A and B are shown apart, each in its own frame.
Chain A
Amino acid sequence: MASMPVVVDRAEKFEKVVSILDRYSRRPSGLIPILQAIQHEYQYLPEEVLTYVATSLDVPPARVFGVATFYAHFALEPKGKHVIRICDGTACHVKQSLPVLNALREKLGTSEKSTTTADMLFTIETVACLGACGLAPVVVIDEQVYGQITPERAVALVDEIKTMEAGLATAPESEQPLAEVVND
């Protein structure tokens, strides 16, 4: 089974946040880039970090939470190890992106409400448009774009990752970056 997300040591967590805050000179106007940098670091925005950011910028926590919940890009829940994004822009939609989404949800047992699998391996999201309309329908798995996808191929891609993950689990502490394996 895959490992649960790494529990970050408290001191270390705030040390990173401090360096991000310093990079933006602790200006409240830099809130969005600050949150982006924090999310880049942790893959999501942990609640205690948001409160810490509010205190450091000398703004009410409500403002920080307000911004964090307003923009679709910010996640307040941890995401799975592999993020699958299905484009549901107009071009992808008319070229039948919904069957792809449904096939993946069925395969991984997720729904519109619960987007991450119980084993924290996969998160399924929809995005409005990735700007790759010429390749519609499009699916992005861990930053790798797959064009003209079918439900069958999408499920096959997930199977590939699952097989690879099973292989990783038997060989613990492997530092091999996943993306490279997926790309080929």
Chain B
Amino acid sequence: MTNTETVTSTLGNGNGISTLAQVRRVIICAGTGCIANGAMKVFEQFKSEIAGAGLQVILELRAEATSDEIRLSKSGCQGFCQMGPLVSVVPDGILYTKVRAEDVAEIVQQTLVGGQVVERLLYKDPATRKSCRGLEDNPFYARQDRLVLRECGFLDPEDIREYILHGGYRAAKKAFVEMLPDEICKTILDSGLRGRGGGGFPTGRKWEAARIQNSPKKYIICNGDEGDPGAFMNRSVMEGNPHSVIEGMMIAARAIGSNEMLVYVRAEYPLAVERMRGAVAAAEREGILGKNVFGTSLSMKCEVMEGAGAFVCGEETAMIASIEGQRGMPRPKPPFPAQSGLWGKPTIINNVETLAHVSRILNEGAEVFRSIGTPDSPGTKTFALTGHVSNTGLVEVPFGTTLREIVYNIGGGVTDDAGKIWKTGFKAVQIGGPSGGCLTEDHLDLPLAYESLRSVGAMVGSGGLVAMNQGTCMVSIARFFMEFTQRESCGKCVLCREGTRQLLALLDDVIEGRADQNTLDLLEKLGRAVQVGSLCGLGKTAPNPVLSTMRYFRKEYEEHVFEKRCRTGRCKALLRPEINQEKCKGCGLCIKACPTGAITGEKKQPHHINPELCIKCGACATACKIHAVEGI
């Protein structure tokens, strides 16, 4: 029997799993983050060291693997990028972090041959200073509830047989062989699955709307255009478990009666493009995509398209325009894409994470999915936790989890700029990227879900969660997002195109000390006008970061405007460098360093800075050995 036959025959009974479990495996994370940190060198080093130690190394999955063999494989992103490269040894359940090629010999000798743990490569909990052996005692992983990400760290994304042996494509087979389209739509609707891309629209209802369309041609599009700066959960799923996305798309296609699927991936994610393309080719080879899918008369084809760098293409109608070879500009809805989308045909566009949930819902039933999360927002959501926290990475938790749990227990607490724990350093969390808003200390116990976030002026969005410490200037953060949306506005709606530009100019006035009360009023008024006067989600939500920071950090705006002062010292134009007259010994180092001749003073007498001439470059502060220059 050939490999292909073995694997395809296991579809539906899952016999292969038991043989797999006995094989000792070394899994090296090969996500973008770990590769950047040298994971491929570690992989090559393992290959030679294992062979050198006289152990049998297998790189390909085989049905007849024996227990004295060690399978070396790459995995997709495990979401703990900061600690990469990550190396897991199963079934021992050991997770090594920050592994260098030089450490490999020790792991092979100690762990694979000797069965001992290499203590120094284990993750240390920054709060308790305790070493964590594996995932179970690692607070970053142990407190998560990983559904979509579960396989990301353990399956070889480049090996379709592994996905199949772990129960993959069984749900798709069920959908094609045992279920009718309306049954699938009903199951998804019953599960309460909502779009993970930001809007939170019920997926089942969307599918049903496309299903009832009387059209011989329909399309399924997977939205992998994850443009939110600071979010990378879709990248991880596409890199780590591409087949779960394809399976979700196939089920969606079956549900609405489509035979053509397309994955639209962001061009900035070359590895995700490569893995998705590889997965489609593998599915075609195994006969999962192509003609007569699962023995039915239905056919199924899938293409992968690379985006060209436009944030607005994450919007459904803009994405359709982009696929049709046009500029990615949104058009008014209705008609909705489910009625008239790509080439005027009914089209369903679902986010990567939404699709990755689908096969599990079909396998386990809608009730199981509903039992996780909150009644209005069932299931789990992956957040990309970044910024000033100890553990950055992907965090998958049930809806309803509090911010405190994510930032303090999973994230390990807030840090200063140098990465050290700062107990009282929490200032805000920005959620939902350029469309979202800020959450403050008051919201730490708010359960995160679609409705609760909307009620405080933020949104789930794609799930970017950026923690910020007390050293972050909130006006600058608002400006950062406004600069982004202003640049990415497609230019169709006047209020979005011109309004974002004016909002940015107003924020610059605040930051550079030209603002007065009018500026603040105008910011709010214009912000609301842009929300109302824009066609698509980009414009409708563009003012959110400004409005939300103005709501929760009003004091900071007022300090900038009325006192011309930035409490964090990040806004250069508002700096007032002064020389502490008591500290200054009059050595003259600052006079030499000053490029504009703004500092004067007699030798051995305290010096002075002329504010008219000072350009706030900070050269004096760097030059002064006794830190007598203050306020810069």
Contacts and interface: CB of A to CB of B under 8 A. Distances in A.
B80 interface: yes
Nearest to A64: B325
Interface string A1-40: 0000000000000000000000000011111110110000
Contacts of B227: 128-129
A82 interface: no
Interface residues of B, number: 55
Nearest to A184: B41
Interface stretch (B66-74, B383-391, B452-460): B383-391
Interface residue range, chain A: 35 or more
Contacts of B269: 131
Interface in A66-87: 66-67, 70-74
Contacts of B388: 94-95
Contacts of B79: 134
A33 B477 contact: no
B309 A129 contact: no
B36 A135 contact: yes
Contacts of A89: 229-230
Contact of B308 (A32, A63, A128, A133): A32
A94 B309 contact: no
A24 to B, nearest CB: 10
A135 B84 CA distance: 9
Given A128-B227, A134-B81, A136-B386, A70 B466 contact: no
B511 to A, nearest CB: 13
A130 B326 CA distance: 24
A129 B268 contact: yes
Nearest to A70: B327
B231 A129 contact: yes
A134 B306 contact: no
B324 A133 contact: no
A95 B387 contact: yes
A132 B82 contact: no
A66 B232 CA distance: 29
B433 interface: yes
A130 B229 CA distance: 8
A146 interface: yes
Contact of A90 (B37, B229, B328): B229
Given A33-B306, A70-B327, A135 B82 contact: yes
A71 B309 contact: yes
A147 B33 contact: yes
B229 A145 contact: no
A67 B232 contact: no
Contacts of A93: 229, 480
Interface in A106-163: 127-136, 138, 143-147
Given A90-B430, A147-B33, A36 B327 contact: no
B621 to A, nearest CB: 15
B568 to A, nearest CB: 12
B32 A145 contact: yes
Nearest to A136: B386
B230 A147 contact: no
Nearest to A133: B386
A147 B433 contact: no
A127 B268 contact: yes
Contact of B324 (A29, A71, A72, A94): A29
B240 interface: no
Interface in B470-498: 472, 477, 480-481, 484, 488, 490
A70 B311 CA distance: 11
Contacts of B481: 90
B80 A134 contact: yes
Contacts of A66: 327
B35 A134 contact: no
Interface of B: 32-33, 35-37, 79-82, 84, 226-232, 235, 267-270, 305-311, 322-328, 384, 386-388, 392-393, 417, 430, 433, 464, 466, 468, 472, 477, 480-481, 484, 488, 490
28 contacts: A28-B325, A29-B325, A31-B325, A31-B326, A32-B305, A32-B325, A33-B305, A36-B306, A67-B326, A70-B327, A70-B328, A71-B307, A71-B328, A74-B309, A89-B230, A93-B480, A94-B468, A94-B472, A128-B227, A128-B229, A128-B484, A132-B32, A133-B81, A134-B33, A134-B392, A135-B33, A145-B36, A147-B36
Interface of A: 27-33, 35-36, 63, 66-67, 70-74, 88-91, 93-96, 127-136, 138, 143-147
Given A33-B305, A133-B386, 5 more contacts: A36-B308, A73-B309, A94-B387, A129-B268, A133-B231
